Amino acid sequence: MTTVVPIGRSLDDIVDYVLQATIRWENPSNMVRHLTTVFGLTQGDAELALDRSTAHAMGSFSLRLDDWITARQKNRTRWRD
């Protein structure tokens, strides 16, 4: 799938907006609306951008969480509950 980014915008701008809005706990429908009105994306591209941006962020977070859990299991005396 391909997302068409309007002239004057970059994928970095879109991903940055989505991640910042996610941190602020914005409603996904409001984010899609913002992406269509402010960034000029189509409805489908806005939904795809939202899905892909948050999926990669959550994947990165879960990988780091897995590393933390593994480190904790390897050295139980260092990590006390």
Q: What is the mean pLDDT of residues 8-24?
A: 89
Please state the rounded mean pLDDT for residues 1-15: 81
Residue 32's contacts (CB-CB under 8 Å, 6 or more residues apart) are 43, 46, 47, 50
How does residue 59 score in pLDDT terms, banded at 50, 70 and 90?
A: low
* Confidence class for position 63, pLDDT limits 50, 70, 90: low
pTM summary value: 0.64
DSSP state of 4: P
